Chain A
Amino acid sequence: EPEVTQTPSHQVTQMGQEVILRCVPISNHLYFYWYRQILGQKVEFLVSFYNNEISEKSEIFDDQFSVERPDGSNFTLKIRSTKLEDSAMYFCASSGLAGGHETQYFGPGTRLLVL
């Protein structure tokens, strides 16, 4: 069964550094998302991406964040100048046209720790 994959599984970085989190969505899906989950809290929407542009973003997704689909398979989240409060699990998700795009399929996550 097709899966969303994410790399790395864990990332430790120093405050102020840039990180890039990578995702390979399910191959025939057209909608891509990033969510985050701070330890002990609920999953929160960051951004959705369709047709090579951002379709919706939350208040969390400020100028330090950016997303890109550099080729036909990868979808990345870049965090410039990381802050301590960016420490969280980051989940990539994708959804497709077949059967509607309501159901989003999530990857295993990248655990980001900012020191």
Chain B
Amino acid sequence: SQKIEQNSEALNIQEGKTATLTCNYTNYSPAYLQWYRQDPGRGPVFLLLIRENEKEKRKERLKVTFDTTLKQSLFHITASQPADSATYLCVVPTGGGNKLTFGTGTQLKVEL
């Protein structure tokens, strides 16, 4: 079955720097991959979707890459702010397509 691996260690960076989070999947390449943000005690919030035929996707300060050869996606936040502090979840469709499989998430802390 598909496994999603994210760095379980928290990532601490200084305000203004670029945060880079990694997602690796173990099995077949999904048709698309998504990144969500989750704050403590809250539901996941959709950020970006990237399809297997797209190398890169951008939205404001966010950038996602998708490398089907490496079976990896990178998620970048440029000019990071303390408000970006949250857990970021890598998510792929599995099974019939409607079911989403989540990674454990990487906690990002942006310090002043």
A residues neighboring B (CB under 8 Å):
4, 31, 33, 35, 41-45, 48, 50, 55-56, 58, 89, 91, 93, 95, 101-109, 111
Q: Which single residue of chain B is at the shortest CB-CB distance from A89?
A: B41
Knowing A56-B96, A103-B34, A107-B43 are in contact, say whether A44-B102 is a contact too (CB < 8 A): yes
User: Is the C-beta of B104 less than 8 angstroms from some C-beta in chain A?
Assistant: yes
Main secondary structure of the interface of A (DSSP, over half): strand
* Interface size range on B against A: 20 to 34
Please, what's the 1-or-0 string for B74-107, where 1 marks a CB less than 8 Å from any CB in chain A?
A: 0000000000000001000101101111111100
Q: Which single residue of chain A is at the shortest CB-CB distance from B36?
A: A106
Main secondary structure of the interface of B (DSSP, over half): strand
Q: Which single residue of chain A is at the shortest CB-CB distance from B4?
A: A42
Taking CB atoms, residues of chain B closer than 8 Å to A4 are: 43
